[in-house]
Amino acid sequence: MTARRRSFLRKIIYGTAILPLLFVLHWLGSPSTLDTETAKGSRGGVLAQQREKDKLAQVYYGKIDPTSETLKLVTLGMRGIAADILWIKGIEYQKKKDWTNLSATLNQIIKLEPNFIDVWRHQGWNLSYNCSAEFDDYRERYRWVIKGIDFLDLGTTYNEREPRLLRDIGWFIAQKIGRSDEHRQFRRLFAADEPFHKRIGKHVRIREGLGPDGKPDNWLVGKLWFRKAEELIDSGGVSPRGMNPLIFRSQAAMCQMNCAAALEQDGVFGDVAQWQWQQASKDWDAFGQFAIATSKDWAVRLGQFDQLKKNRQKVLDRLDALAPGVREKLYKSKLVSLTDEQRKARATPGPKRTSEQHMLAAKAEALLEVRPYEIARNRDMPRENRPKAKELLEEIVKLDDRIGITKSYRGVVNYDYWDQRAKIEQRKEMITARKLVYEGGEELAKGNLSSAASAFADGSRAWYRMLREYPMLMTDKATIDDIDELLEQYGRALDQDDKLFPYDPDDLDNPRNPRNFALAQFVRAQVKDSNKMHRIRLNRKKAEEAEAAGDLATASTFYEKELHNWRGLIADLPSLEQMSDRVTGELILAAIRKYAEVLTKLNQAIPDDFVLHRFVRVQMEHDPETHRAQIAMEAAQAAMEAAQTASEKGQSASQKEHLAAARKAYEQGFALWRSVLERYPTLVADSTLGEELLVVIDEYRQLLDQQQAQMPKDFVLQDILDRYDQP
């Protein structure tokens, strides 16, 4: 075969092979065409039909940008690589804080990858959260948060059917602006940012997001974006794409809750705050009625939990009615089978149970529960009722399944808590409590200490009433934070006014007594719930055991450990230092006295670095005995000055009289100080006080010199002299 012929044959073979491929290509890739006047359009090849079916055509995404399309073309299919290179450049620019080039690079990346959602989401987050944090000026930070939001907003024009971007915008506007460290400043800037409002006003009805001051509120505007994302999904054909529907659907309602809370933080109370919380409650109820798809063949509505339980009870009653007396019989038999420990645990009232008893009681209650199948399958169930009982049992099982899943879903979004919270917060009493605390804070900032303290005291009482009415608040983190802030501010106001938290010594444990600090029991509850309390008790027990056994060294070690634990607790609840709960405060003082007593028995001095010096000093400074001692010392010093004046005038008789009066006052003062030191024995080791007392003792010595007298042998503050009067 000649070369020419071989070449010809090869061409024939290639041509023959290509021909079927062309048919395949046509079948797969021929484009769809529209109907014209003269001819009917075609649905196109497989790919075109699939694209149409899954709405993958470019036109379905959103805006078609000629720049972007041109760039995609000129990169000749290498746009992924080009975007990667730009991405790396962007990282480098960000590292070198070259914000202008970073922004320019991001603009180029999105031109290359306009429909790559993660690019928008990642870089939007990067701008709003990472880049903004690089700036020191909060106004710049806000500008970069907005840049991130604008970036996402641009993304929505290229990807109109992408709920994740809408959700992210909602999240950034709500959470980033409303929850940052600079949330007060950010919210203020957001409310005044008219150009931004104008920009987003093209996508959401910004008028619906106005706060009480008539300016957009970030939480309410965020809510609008969440609603927009919800509407997009509800309009059909768009999937939530990886977003947990439960969390996603709760976000708009949560925005309303946060808005109401933020307004109160900003000092907006009264009807406005109440209306916002009422709205929050409505939104939450609406969320509770929304059907959330599950992996089962039915949807969950969080708000139907109580109804489901009622339904179950009704079915259960019908089951019981089929076999009267069976439930009681079963219960009795179960009760008999309980162990003695379980019975004892059940009989012990809740607050008095040990942790072990709590477990035993819980186990006993579980054992006592009569399960529906035990009734349905019981021998005593009349034969004729058994088919019906089986039917009811199946119904109960189904309801249990629904109840279980609904309960679990409610737990995910903390449904009960927010439901209750919204209802409680709209109560006038609650709004008053918050308002009083806010006013106290304002007065404190102005330096009006007595007005501040008065407002805080009223606020504390209002809070006490709410806590009494809604005990669930005692364990609510947000409430605990709010009250901690109240305690901190109230404590600051009292401290600046040189006072401790108020109390009535004759009616200490009565929170309704207006002379007592109303939230003392709340503080005590916090102390009780603290994990440090367990260690305090344990160390105390070991110390007492060692002391009883005569091992004082070990006892002192454990007492010292106990005091360390108390110090940790005071660090957690700083208001304790100012006796926000006097019962706990006295416990700490008792522990300190016990420790000092053991050290005295051991003939050891209180260490200089005693852990609770600060606490003791605060108590000492506010003790009436200390006050009397100080008055006595001042009187002595005044008499000394008078004696000096008399001496200068040459009035020796008068000088002697004044010296005698001074000596008497000094000795009275020393006696009072002795009494203070007995009450707070560790004060001996407080070098600041020691040095102060030494100065006074020196004055007394000078007085004695002038009287040509000697220091008394049984001088009451000899221990202070021994400790601090070093040559």
Partner 1 sequence: MVIETEQLPFHEWILWAPLTWLLVVVVLFVVGVFLGSLVAVVRHGPARGLEMTAKVLHAAAGDLFCMSPRRVWALGWLAVKDSLRRRVVVVFILFVVLLLFAGWFLDPGSDHPLRLYISFVLTATSYLVLLLMLFLSAFSLPTDLKNKTLHTVVTKPVRPSEIVLGRMLGFAALGTFLLALMGLISYFFVVRGLAHTHEVVVGSLEAINPGDDTARGDVPLKGKSTSVNNHRHDVLLGRKGRGRLEMAQDHFHRVESRQQGDKTVYEVGQPEGMRVARVPVYGKLRFLDRQRRLADKGINVGDEWSYRGYIEGGSLGAGVWTFEGVTRKQFPERIQLEMTLGVFRTHKGDIEQGVTGTLLLRNPKTGLTVEAKVFAAREFSTDVHRLPRKLTPRNVYYLAKEKDSEGKVKYVREAIGGNRKPQYDLFDDLAEDGRLEVWLQCLDPAQYFGVAQPDLYLRARNASFALNFIKGYFGVWMQMVLVIGFGVMFSTFLSGPVAWIATVGMLVGGFCRGFVLKLALGETYGGGPVESFIRLITQDNVVSDLPEGLRTTVAQTVDAVLQRGLWVIAQILPPLGEFDCANYVAYGFNISADWIGQRGLTTLGFAVALLVVSYFFLKTREVAK
| 96 binding partner 1? (CB under 8 A) | yes
| 108 binding partner 1? (CB under 8 A) | yes
Comparison of 185 and 718: residue with beta carbon closer to partner 1: 185
Comparison of 137 and 609: residue with beta carbon closer to partner 1: 137
Comparison of 195 and 325: residue with beta carbon closer to partner 1: 195
Question: Which of 185, 278, 513, 554 is in the footprint of partner 1 by CB under 8 A?
Answer: 185
Place of tokens 């065409």: 33
CB 489 to partner 1: min, Å: 18
| 67 binding partner 1? (CB under 8 A) | yes
The rounded distance, in Å, linking the Cα atoms of 381 and 385 is: 7
The rounded distance, in Å, linking the Cα atoms of 261 and 254 is: 11
35, 329, 332, 349, 354 from 346: Cα distances, Å: 81, 20, 15, 7, 11
Question: Which of 38, 100, 295, 603 is in the footprint of partner 1 by CB under 8 A?
Answer: 100
What is the distance in angstroms between the CA of the first residue and the CA of the last residue of the chain? 125
Comparison of 123 and 279: residue with beta carbon closer to partner 1: 123
Question: Which of 15, 20, 77, 195 is in the footprint of partner 1 by CB under 8 A?
Answer: 195
The tokens describing 690, both together, are 């020691």
What type of residue sits at position 417? Answer: Y
| 101 binding partner 1? (CB under 8 A) | yes
Question: Which of 48, 72, 82, 111 is in the footprint of partner 1 by CB under 8 A?
Answer: 111
Site size toward partner 1, by CB under 8 A: 24
CB 95 to partner 1: min, Å: 5
CB 195 to partner 1: min, Å: 6
Question: Which of 97, 282, 515, 537 is in the footprint of partner 1 by CB under 8 A?
Answer: 97
Kindly indicate which of the ranges 90-98, 377-385, 566-574, 696-704 contains the residues binding partner 1, using the contact rule CB under 8 A.
90-98
| 718 binding partner 1? (CB under 8 A) | no
Which is nearest to 192 in space by CA: 133, 143, 253, 149? 143
- Rg (Cα) of the chain, in Å, rounded? 39
Comparison of 182 and 266: residue with beta carbon closer to partner 1: 182
Which is nearest to 326 in space by CA: 366, 372, 367? 372
CB 189 to partner 1: min, Å: 11
Burial of 536 per CB tally in 10 Å (0-12, 13-18, 19+): buried
CB 26 to partner 1: min, Å: 36
DSSP structure string for 428-490: HHHHHHHHHHHHHHHHHHHT-HHHHHHHHHHHHHHHHHHHHH-GGGGG-HHHHHHHHHHHHHH
| 70 binding partner 1? (CB under 8 A) | yes
Q: Indicate the Cα dihedral angle 236, 241, 243, 249, nearest 10°.
A: 0
Show contacts with partner 1 in window 640-699 (CB under 8 A). Answer: none
Comparison of 136 and 297: residue with beta carbon closer to partner 1: 136
Comparison of 86 and 693: residue with beta carbon closer to partner 1: 86
Kindly indicate which of the ranges 100-108, 261-269, 665-673, 685-693 contains the residues binding partner 1, using the contact rule CB under 8 A.
100-108
Per-residue string for binding with partner 1, 199-228, x by CB under 8 A?
------------------------------
Comparison of 101 and 115: residue with beta carbon closer to partner 1: 101
Q: Any alpha helices (H) in 290-385, and if so which ranges?
A: 305-322, 326-336, 340-347, 355-368, 372-376
Residues in the chain: 727
Comparison of 54 and 137: residue with beta carbon closer to partner 1: 137
Contact indicator for 278, 425 with CB cutoff of 8 Å:
no
The tokens describing 329, both together, are 């019989």
Comparison of 137 and 384: residue with beta carbon closer to partner 1: 137
CB 92 to partner 1: min, Å: 9
CB 83 to partner 1: min, Å: 14
| 98 binding partner 1? (CB under 8 A) | yes
Cβ neighbours of 57 (radius 10 Å): 11
The rounded distance, in Å, linking the Cα atoms of 393 and 153 is: 54
The rounded distance, in Å, linking the Cα atoms of 60 and 466 is: 54
Comparison of 20 and 66: residue with beta carbon closer to partner 1: 66
The tokens describing 597, both together, are 């007593």
| 103 binding partner 1? (CB under 8 A) | yes
- Long-range residue pairs from 539-543, CB within 8 A, at least 24 positions apart, any chain: 539/565, 540/591, 543/594, 543/598
204, 474, 500, 520, 667 from 483: Cα distances, Å: 37, 10, 17, 11, 46
The residues near 717 (Cβ < 8 Å, ≥ 6 apart) are 670, 673, 674, 677, 693, 697
CB 496 to partner 1: min, Å: 20
Comparison of 140 and 285: residue with beta carbon closer to partner 1: 140
Question: Which of 49, 107, 333, 496 is in the footprint of partner 1 by CB under 8 A?
Answer: 107
Per-residue string for binding with partner 1, 322-341, x by CB under 8 A?
--------------------
Show contacts with partner 1 in window 124-183 (CB under 8 A). Answer: 135-138, 140, 181-182
CB 99 to partner 1: min, Å: 7
Contact indicator for 605, 599 with CB cutoff of 8 Å:
yes
CB 181 to partner 1: min, Å: 6
Comparison of 102 and 431: residue with beta carbon closer to partner 1: 102
Comparison of 100 and 355: residue with beta carbon closer to partner 1: 100
CB 594 to partner 1: min, Å: 39
The rounded distance, in Å, linking the Cα atoms of 412 and 415 is: 8
Question: Which of 104, 268, 583, 635 is in the footprint of partner 1 by CB under 8 A?
Answer: 104
DSSP state of 707: T
What type of residue sits at position 480? Answer: I
* Binding region for partner 1 (CB under 8 A): 66-67, 70, 95-101, 103-104, 107-108, 111, 135-138, 140, 181-182, 185, 195
